[in-house]
Amino acid sequence: MIGSTKEALWIGFKATADDCNKLDLFLSALLKGGMSMMESLIREWDGETVIVHYDRPTGAWIFIAIHSTRLGPAAGGTRMKSYHDVEAALQDALRLSAGMTYKFAVPGIPFGGGKAVIAIPSEFDKQSCPAILRRHGALIQQLGGLFFTGPDFGTTSEDMDIIAETGAPYIFSRTLAAGGSGSPGPFTALGVFTGIQTVCEHLFGDMTLKSRRVLVQGTGSVGGALIDHLGAAGAKVMFSDVDEGAIRHFRDEFELKFVPAEAVYRTECDIFAPCALGAVLNADTIPQLKCRAVAGGANNQLADPENAKHLLDRGILYAPDYVINVGGAMAILGMETQGWARDQAEKEVAENVPRVLRQVFELAATEGITTEAAARRIAEERLSAGM
């Protein structure tokens, strides 16, 4: 049974009495330390429900955060990575689920915000991956349609195929071969690209990217596809990544300028496009920035909402992440719930992201507020109206 607001649910699977005794001892020890921090995070969170599952075979934790079901069932990707502690994983799930609520609300997509995080141990046996994904799918199945998921950092459409074995029909973005709509990455990248064009329109008077200097941080499924769009549009593209294979690929094969991670924030450019992990805009990095605007595909780019004011004070235009990176979610949900063809999905993304960004920029300028506050106001008005 799903709990009420801010209730944490402990959901497990059948186990022996010995297993249960061991788990009780484990949880008792945890309650004396980190669990109080976890409880505090949940109590301070403004969402609805948190599902917590400890995966005994792997030692991983699974968190499913349901931030809002005001506009419809919650939806959000499944992120899988190693964290320095369990609390960080929980905090990621809580923050990301809230971002999904606003991501859907601003353009009026009829879904609520949710997120799943699988926090794997630092020494995780990759051969265990299919099994934990199936257990994750079974957990989603138990929720009976309260939460839908798709790929996120650390997971792919192929992983969604595995999760769907036990979690269907609540799994989006399965591979094309499995009857799904494939990776959301290209659609997210398309939305970010058209968003960057809109940023240029706002700053420079037209949408052209020819000779504009764009620094892309992260060259995964979103950043890599974004680089393709930018290059085709004539932009002067720079990139940063920590993966040696990606560095060789984009520096040597595409002859793009590589920027080391330690120099990213102080590199001069027109547009800085964060496309990796979040919280990259903070009290340490914002003073270093030498760009006219920040517009990228990463989630939760602001370490704190107050950082939006710091960007404004520095004269840096910020395209709120959940506005500019909605393309993947919009396209996949449109194709899998409304029957959009792929070309229609691309058209919807290319039209909606610039339209909403213009609304955000106009409201921010009219009211004298940050673009983050403007986007949040639009979202909250739609959430209040239930539309």
Q: Which residues are catalytic?
A: 115
DSSP string, 10-58: E------HHHHHHHHHHHHHHHTTHHHHHHHHHHH--SSEEEEEEETTT
Using an 8 Å Cβ cutoff, are 200 and 283 in contact? Answer: no
Which parts of the chain are beta strand (E)? 7-10, 49-55, 60-66, 74-81, 112-119, 147-151, 213-217, 236-240, 257-258, 271-274, 293-294, 317-318
Separation of alpha carbons 384 and 270, rounded Å: 37
Separation of alpha carbons 14 and 20, rounded Å: 9
Amino acid at 300: N
Name beta bridge partners: 116.
Answer: 64, 78
For the chain, counts of helices (H) and of strands (E): 13, 12
SS3 64: strand
Separation of alpha carbons 128 and 140, rounded Å: 19
Name beta bridge partners: 236.
Answer: 213
Using an 8 Å Cβ cutoff, are 327 and 107 in contact? Answer: no
DSSP string, 245-294: HHHHIIIIIS-PEE--GGGGGGSB-SEEEE-SSS--BSTTTGGG-B-SEE
At residue 273, φ and ψ (nearest 5 deg) are: -120, 90
Which has the closest alpha carbon to 213: 269, 164, 169?
269
